[in-house]
């Protein structure tokens, strides 16, 4: 049960939105410059950051327009905006504003982590809201949630938790989708009967997250779990029923719907599944050629519909 019954709860908000829309698709806004549709390539080739940022902003906003009524949430990947410096951050802010106006839940994929007052500055910018703002009334990104890196330790999560108590969410990296995630995350810890580092991180988060559990039994503290490791995902899902899962790895990275299904609880809930390239750049896919000829954004919409159907089908069978 939440200790903040009078305040909004991110976990509840996310689940309500998913139920309303009817699928758990998270559209990753990863505007790879080289993959943008031809209409943007002049801007990209200009080497002018303002023009390049204008192109990725326009591209992302057209994606938002194309999917806002059929998916619950989007996840801008901050790196692609940061790459363009000040112009990129202006584009990022405009994209987040457009997404929130369209009713989408917005998760800032920033993977920040730092100590004390520095983590506080990151938290304030990405998810700062309400009475806990460090710079009250100063414009910020104001996403609904953000991704966070746990390596520095649980004390470094505290500045983010202040905003979780104000209705925001965090997704902490636990078992990431990349091949090298085994290097450190899979190291077995001594005197634990076989616990791996990523499991120890999840354990800690589950305990920290208890006070942020909403009325549906899920916490506003979630974890990032790659669908590319379905066995590990399944085991985490069984052990930590109160944690939201943010699931990368579907599509371009190789995981299929059956892998992804392991991240959901027995009600077919508790996870949100990211796809980026397979949706954003589906205009390059033979399957969507006819639609893409009319408008690349139609192929993105259709790819999102297809992904949603694939997920809801497999979840209804489980």
Which residues form the interface with its own copies (CB under 8 A)? 30, 32-33, 47, 49, 52, 77, 79-80, 82-90, 93, 111-119, 121-122, 124-125, 134-135, 137-141, 149-156, 173, 176-185, 187-192, 194, 197, 200-201, 204
Q: Is 279 left (phi over 0), alpha (psi -120 to 50) or beta?
A: alpha
The span from the CA of 140 to the CA of 189, in Å, is 40
- H or E element that contains 260: helix 257-261
CB of 281 to its own copies, least distance (A): 12
Residue tagged active-site, from 51, 111, 204, 284: 111
CB of 298 to its own copies, least distance (A): 25
CB of 217 to its own copies, least distance (A): 26
Burial zone of 182 (CB within 10 Å; 0-12 exposed, 13-18 middle, 19+ buried): middle
Which one, 177 or 278, has the nearer CB to its own copies?
177
Asked if residues 107 and 26 have their Cβ atoms less than 8 Å apart, the reply is yes
Active site residue 204: no
CB of 14 to its own copies, least distance (A): 23
Nearest CA among 133, 152, 149, 153 for reference residue 141: 133
Which one, 155 or 318, has the nearer CB to its own copies?
155
- H or E element that contains 81: helix 78-82
Fill in the DSSP letter of residue 154. Answer: G
Burial zone of 227 (CB within 10 Å; 0-12 exposed, 13-18 middle, 19+ buried): buried
CB of 123 to its own copies, least distance (A): 9
Which one, 182 or 265, has the nearer CB to its own copies?
182
The span from the CA of 204 to the CA of 217, in Å, is 18
Which one, 176 or 299, has the nearer CB to its own copies?
176
Count of C-beta atoms within a 10 Å radius of residue 193? 6
Which one, 103 or 179, has the nearer CB to its own copies?
179
Which residues are designated catalytic? 111
């Amino acid at each position: 049960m939440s200790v903040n019954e009078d305040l909004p709860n991110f976990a509840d908000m996310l689940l309500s939105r998913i139920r309303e829309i009817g699928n758990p698709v998270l559209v990753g806004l990863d505007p790879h410059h080289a993959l943008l549709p031809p209409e943007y390539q002049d801007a990209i080739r200009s080497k002018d950051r303002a023009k390049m940022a204008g192109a990725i902003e326009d591209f992302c906003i057209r994606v938002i327009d194309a999917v806002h009524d059929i998916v619950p949430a989007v996840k801008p990947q901050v790196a692609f905006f940061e790459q363009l410096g000040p112009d990129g951050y202006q584009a990022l802010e405009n994209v987040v504003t457009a997404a929130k106006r369209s009713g989408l839940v917005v998760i800032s994929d920033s993977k920040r982590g730092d100590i004390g007052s520095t983590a506080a500055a990151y938290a304030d910018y990405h998810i700062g809201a309400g009475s806990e703002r460090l710079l009250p009334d100063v414009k910020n990104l104001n996403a609904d949630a953000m991704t966070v890196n746990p390596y520095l330790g649980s004390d470094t999560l505290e500045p983010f938790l202040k905003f979780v108590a104000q209705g925001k969410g965090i997704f902490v990296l636990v078992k990431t989708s990349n091949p090298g995630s085994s290097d450190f995350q899979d190291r077995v810890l001594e005197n634990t009967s076989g616990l791996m580092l990523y499991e120890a991180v999840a354990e800690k988060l589950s305990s920290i997250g208890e006070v942020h559990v909403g009325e549906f039994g899920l916490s506003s503290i979630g974890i990032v779990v790659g669908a590319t490791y379905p066995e590990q995902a399944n085991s985490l899902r069984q052990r930590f029923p109160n944690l939201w899962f943010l699931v990368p790895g579907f599509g371009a990275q190789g995981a299929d719907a059956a892998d992804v299904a392991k991240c959901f609880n027995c009600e077919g809930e508790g996870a949100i599944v990211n796809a980026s390239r397979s949706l954003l750049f589906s205009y390059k896919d033979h399957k969507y050629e006819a639609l893409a000829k009319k408008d690349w954004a139609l192929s993105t919409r259709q790819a999102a519909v297809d992904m949603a159907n694939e997920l809801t089908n497999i979840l209804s069978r489980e």
